[in-house]
Amino acid sequence: MAAHVAIDGVTKRYSAAADSGGVFDINVVIPGGKFTTLLGESGSGKTTLLRLLAGFLRPSEGTIFLGDIEIASNKMFVPPQARDLAMVFQSYALWPHMTVFDNVAFGLRSQKTPKREILDRVETTLSLVGLEELQHRKPAQLSGGQQQRVALARSLVLEPGLLLLDEPLSNLDADLRVQMRDQLKALQVRTGITFVYVTHDQEEAFALSDHMIVLDQGRILQQGPCEEIYSRPRSNKVAEFMGRRGLHLDGALDSKSQFSISAPSGGKQVLGTFPHVDNRLANGGKATLVVHSESLRLEAPGATSECFLSVPGVVESTSFAGRENQVVVRTGGDHSTTAYAPIRENWAPGETVQMSFRPESSWVFPTGRAGAGASGPDSEPDLATTDVADSSRSSS
Amino acid sequence: MNSPNLHGSSENTATRRSRKLPGTQISRNLVWVLTIVAIGVLVAYPVARIFWLAVSDPSTGVWDSAAFQAELASSAMWRATWNTFIMAIAATALGTVVAVPMAWLCERSDMPGRRVITSLVFLTFMNPPLLLGLAYVMIFGPNIGLLTGWLQALGIDSTIYSWWGLIFVTACASFAIIFMTTSSSLAGIDGDLENAARAHGAGAMSLIFRVTLPLVRPAIASGALLSFVLALNAFGVQALIATPARISLLTTEIYSYFSYPVQFSAASTQAVVLIVISIAAAFGANLYIAAKTYPTIAGKGARADITQIPRWARWAAFLACSGAVGLSVVIPMSVVVARSFVRVPGRGFGADNLWLGNYSQLFKLGDVSGALWNSLRYGLSAAALMVLIALALTYFRRERAPGSKFVFTIAEIPFVVPGIVLAIGFIAAFSRPPLALYGTSTILVLVYVSKFLPIAIRFTDNALGQIGSELEEAAYAHGASAGRTFLRVLLPLMKRGLTTAAVLSFIFAFNELSASILLIGTGTQVASTVLLQYSQEGLIGNMNAFAAVLFGITAISYAIVIRLAGNSVMTAGTN
């Protein structure tokens, strides 16, 4: 049965030192039967969080529930083997001394499942991942992609309430990665198992998940459905993480949502009115405007098009980046912005350009720390809880 | 190549073996040829001569297999063979049963004192079997044994001069290597393999028996093989215990054939039987190891977790492990040292019965200082030669010099050849001109080099293996010659590892008995042969003092090794 996971005030400290890694005061509910991604850069605490769920680590504080069962807290600790879960490891961790069949049958044998049933279930699962032909091989005789599917079958055969996946696609080459990504998504939908998937690749996260938890320095920056995280990032950092590093402009917002920057000539230049403004700027204040690279258009200075705003700059460097040219543009001061232009457009270093974008594909956040980090727990939206309520209704 | 030639440099990185540097190339080739010759003379030739000696007339050197066939028909010979086999197998089995759980407890559990126990096991590995045999005769021997009376009070009418005594002391002398190979393999397991078992429902026992143990099987097998060979090599134990117990063994029989009149054919036939047993054991073990070794699958993996065991089990385990190192080194060596201060044996350790006379007398005996000096000289010369050859061999294998793999394999052979057998090979090979070395100090140094070269190779190889080849390539890419790269980059980085290899090679050569016993002549007596002689003559006080001195030198070498390499020496020598 697909289980939801409730993480309640969980902290894991590795040592007393301030920046020794770990996770801090994590409060989140991972919806049952959905595909949830833990997204973050290395050192963000995503793997720590996954290992806490698996039971390889014990929380320093807080409580974790799997379904309605308390699995880890100060008073209580259920070891990994007694938790209703399975895990796919980054290194696959296939036991090299066992055949494919024995690898997949391992968990069932641990549960003392009758022989007949083991045979049936292992074969069914192997055919689900398309490996029934290879069941007598040893892991070392398989390709990377096949090993990955054995690791997946070994976990799926247990029909666990929760499946943890630790960057399972990172050891595959690009083509196979995309192919396996589609298979993983399809398997999750078909089995209805709760998937918790760790990755640092935001593109992968968007392709796979229903729900996303963005972590940074051991704390949750934002969590919610994918579309929402992309279209309504709650902080500068999340916005930056969701897209390729784009335009950042420091300026000020007035109470009428008008964003202005200091003009080169001195004084203020009003840029325009923006629809996506962080709540914390309700009364205006120092603000940063963020636009993703993919939403920027490079134009010759003076070009105007309807519904577009533009910021002037000077081309610093250009480079060929496969399907497009990557152009670094310096705007006033120290800021440089990376934009992408079609290959046929040639921009030369030193040329003046303007970067144009639609106001609706940009966000305004408070400048500085408040905009970069997560805000207090009071302002967390209650999206996750609503989702759980929905899924428990539909599954019962 | 000192000129900054960009093109040349990049060529170096790509194919460093095809560098066109005539001068360097010639001297490199010369060193490699010398290495091959050294291995041929020190290993291949003497080992081949053992077989030839068995089937030829010792005085004329022509084919004559009559003596060989007569010896093979002797039932006494087959009894000795059977006894030897049973002794080595039983000691290895006992050692495995103790060493494997101990290795797991020290490497994988939160047992208290696991670091201390691990390093004491290494002391057991370095401590010569002769001292151990001697100490156990002191403890459980008839008449002089400290605890023999207790045994009789318990109704056990037996002394150390028995099968159990032989097997027990041999196991004490040889189990350390099983601990070492097993713990090194345990340390190398990808922690995620165990985590995966736990995440798929395996409990603690299931984890150990279905995942951990199967993965370390090859290491256990290779440790057991080495322990089997060490058991055959423990000549000190056999001479001190099996001979009085009237248990005939191939090794002690061979030794007795060398007392007047010397029976070369009988000795060499038994040597051939012994070497065949060793090689068959090595062959069997390697087949098993090859079948049970699985290529590790790529991935960064994780360090394995320390298993928390219940509090009572923790202390019970600690007591059991302390018992094992206690019995195999701490207690016997304490007895030897304590007894070396006793004036009259059998009168206890009262203040009036303690003195230093055993030591002052010791050095008045002519043999002792000469023998110690010899052991020291031979040990140091052998250690220097071994490290040089090992360095050349590991370096050329890394550079993939032609034939290096084969030469490397040949150099490893003495690991499974008992010392007394190797000595017969040396006698056969070096007793006639142009290489008439029998009775000289050179033959002793050479046999030590041959016998312990595999140990020097392992530690040197490990030291070299830890240096990424890109450090070497970087030197080439920046215009350094091969010689300069070796001297300025590799050698400084290997300093610690090489010193460890040298100290270990020294102490093993210093304490060597089983080959020395056949090769010493007048004036080339070594410490271990003199000590064996004293113990057979019953000079108890002097014997204990001398044994304490040898243990002292062993303990100092041990302290240096542990200081240099810590517990990582365990993993270095056994991979």
Could you please report the per-residue DSSP string of A301-354? TT---TT-EEEEEEEEEEEE-SSEEEEEEE-STT-EEEEEEETT----TT-EEE
Dihedral of alpha carbons B332, B534, B366, B421, sign? negative
Angstrom distance (rounded) from CA A240 to CA A220 = 15
DSSP state of A81: G
Listed in sequence order, the residues at least 6 apart from A19 whose beta carbon sits closer than 8 Å to its beta carbon are none
For chain A, say whether B297 makes contact (Cβ under 8 Å): yes
Give B114-119's long-range contacts (Cβ < 8 A, gap of 24+): B114/B321, B115/B567, B117/B318, B117/B321, B117/B322, B117/B325, B118/B183, B118/B567, B118/B570, B119/B562, B119/B566, B119/B567
Q: How far is B92 from chain A (nearest CA, A)?
A: 25
Give the CB-side neighbour count of residue B358, counting CA atoms within 13 A: 25
Residues from chain B that touch A158, judged by Cβ atoms under 8 A, are: 200-201
* pLDDT exceeds 70 at position A386: no
Run of H or E residues at A260: strand A258-262
Q: N- to C-terminal Cα distance for chain A?
A: 10
Expressed in angstroms, the distance from the first to the final Cα of chain B is 37
DSSP string covering B238-253: IIIIITTTT---HHHH
Contact B297 A91 (CB under 8 A): yes
* Interchain contact, A81 vs B201, CB within 8 Å: yes
Q: Is B308 on the interface with A (CB under 8 A)?
A: no
Put simply, the answer to whether B198 touches A79 (Cβ < 8 Å) is yes
Q: What is the pLDDT of residue B532?
A: 92
Taking residue A178's Cβ as centre, other Cβ atoms within 10 Å add up to: 14
Using alpha carbons, select from B528, B552, B506 the residue that is nearest to residue B233.
B528
Tell me if B214 and A140 make a contact (CB, 8 A cut-off). no
Dihedral of alpha carbons A262, A264, A267, A272, sign: negative
Q: Which of A160, A113, A362 is nearest to A257 (CA)?
A: A362
pLDDT in tens, A267-292: 777 778 787 887 777 777 888 888 88
B290 Cβ under 8 Å from any chain A Cβ:
no
A104 — phi, psi (to 5°)?
A: -70, -35
Is-contact B513 B423, C-beta < 8 A? no
B493 to chain A, any CB pair closer than 8 A? The answer is no
Sequence-ordered alpha helix ranges (H) in chain A: 46-54, 100-110, 115-128, 144-156, 174-191, 202-208, 226-231, 236-242, 369-372, 383-395
pLDDT at A258: 80
CB-CB: which of B200, B292, B298 is closest to A86?
B200
Binary contact (A87, B298; C-beta < 8 A) = no
Q: Contact, A23 vs A45, CB < 8 A?
A: yes
Average pLDDT over residues A225-249: 79
Alpha carbon of A315: minimum distance to chain B alpha carbons (Å): 34
Q: How far is A325 from chain B (nearest CA, A)?
A: 31
Count of beta carbons in the 10 Å neighbourhood of residue B130: 27
Question: Three-class SS of residue A53?
Answer: helix
Query: What backbone torsions phi and psi does residue B3 show, to the nearest 5 degrees?
Result: -75, 140
Q: What is the pLDDT of residue B469?
A: 80
A153 CB neighbours in chain B (<8 A) are none
Sorted by sequence, the CB contacts under 8 Å of residue A234 that are 6+ apart come out as A221, A222, A278, A375
Q: What is the pLDDT of residue A372?
A: 46
Distance (Å) from the alpha carbon of A66 to chain B's nearest alpha carbon: 14
Residue of B nearest to A154 (CA): B200
For β-strands A35-39 and A194-199, DSSP reports them as: parallel
Angle CA B239–B553–B365, to nearest 5: 65
Return the residue of A nearest to B302 by Cα.
A91
Q: What angle do CA B494, B495, B500 make, to 5 degrees?
A: 100
Length of chain B: 575
Residues of chain B with pLDDT under 70: 1-24, 157, 296-302, 567, 569-575
The structure tokens 């980054």 sit at A90
- pLDDT-wise least confident of A225-229, A385-389, B173-177, B558-562: A385-389
pTM for this entry? 0.82
- Of the candidates A81, A93, A144, the beta carbon closest to that of B192 is on A93
Q: Of B293, B297, B329, nearest to B575 (Cα)?
A: B293
- Beta strand A211-216 with A35-39: parallel, antiparallel or unpaired? parallel
**How far is residue B564's CA from residue B142's CA, in Å, rounded to a whole number?**
42
The answer to whether the Cβ–Cβ distance between B299 and A106 falls below 8 Å is: no
Question: Lowest-confidence range among A2-16, A55-69, A282-296, B101-115?
Answer: A282-296
Calpha distance B240→B535 (Å, rounded): 8
pLDDT-derived band at A1 (thresholds 50, 70, 90) equals low
Show residues of chain B in contact with A50, CB under 8 Å: none
Q: A54 to chain B: which residues are within 8 Å by CB?
A: 195, 199
Reported as a single tens digit per residue, the pLDDT across B422-432 is 999 999 899 87
Distance in angstroms (rounded) separating the CA atoms of residues A211 and A198: 12
Whether B274 and B421 have beta carbons less than 8 Å apart is answered as yes
Shortest CA distance from A112: residue in chain B: B201
All CATH 1.10.3720.10 domain ranges of chain B, comma separated, are: 22-59+357-575, 75-300+309-339
* pLDDT computed for residue B506 by the predictor: 96
Find out whether B371 and B524 touch, Cβ atoms under 8 Å.
Answer: no
Q: Is a pLDDT exceeding 60 seen at residue A391? A: no
Q: Does B296 touch chain A (CB under 8 A)?
A: yes
Q: Residue B490's Cα: distance from chain center in Å?
A: 27
Helix segments in B399-539, DSSP class H: 404-412, 419-429, 441-465, 469-477, 482-485, 491-510, 516-519, 527-537
Which residues on chain A are in Cβ contact (under 8 Å) with B206? 110
Distance from CA of B208 to the nearest CA of A (A): 13
Considering only alpha carbons, which residue of chain B is nearest residue A82?
A: B201
The answer for residues whose C-beta is within 8 angstroms of residue A381's C-beta and 6 or more apart is: A224
- Minimal Cα–Cα distance from B186 to chain A, Å? 15
Compute the nearest-CA separation of B528 from chain A (Å). 45
Of B196, B292, B305, the CB nearest to A89: B196
Sort residue B348 into left (φ over 0), alpha (ψ -120 to 50) or beta.
left
| Cα dihedral: A174, A176, A179, A183 (round 10) | -130
**Subunit contact B294:A140, Cβ cutoff 8 A:** yes
The per-residue pLDDT for A99 is 93
Instruction: Compare CB distances from A110 to B195, B206, B298 and report the shortest one's residue.
Output: B206
> What is the pLDDT, as a whole number, of residue A333?
65
User: Which superfamily does CATH assign the domain made up of B75-300+309-339 to?
Assistant: MetI-like (1.10.3720.10)
Minimum-distance CB partner of A107 among B190, B195, B200: B200
Q: What is the pLDDT of residues A306-326, one digit of tens each?
A: 778 888 888 888 888 777 888
| CA distance to A151, A152, B292, per residue, from A105 (Å) | 11, 12, 20
Compute the nearest-CA separation of B285 from chain A (Å).
18
Angle between helix B45-54 and helix B419-429 axes, rounded to 10 deg: 90
CB nearest A158 (choices: B200, B294, B296): B200
Tokens of B101: 């759980």
Contact B196 A93 (CB under 8 A): yes
**Closest by alpha carbon to B102, among B304, B320, B303, B332?**
B320
Domain B22-59+357-575 falls in which CATH fold? MetI-like fold (1.10.3720)
DSSP 3-state helix, strand, coil percentages of chain B (rounded to 5)?
75, 0, 25
What pLDDT does B22 receive? 56
Task: With CB atoms and an 8 Å threshold, state whether B202 touches A110.
Answer: yes
Instruction: Give contacts of B305 with chain A, Cβ < 8 Å.
Output: 56
Residue of B220, B297, B300, B306 to mutate, interface with A, max A Cβ within 10 Å: B297
Mutation target to probe the B interface, by most B beta carbons within 10 A, among A52, A53, A81, A112 is A81
CB A212 within 8 A of CB A37: yes
**Interfacial residues of A (vs B; Cβ cutoff 8 Å):** 54-56, 79-81, 85-87, 89-97, 106-107, 110-111, 138-140, 144, 147, 154-155, 158, 164, 171
Residues in chain B closer than 8 A to A90 (CB atoms): 192, 299-300
Give the count of Cβ contacts less than 8 A between chain A and B: 96
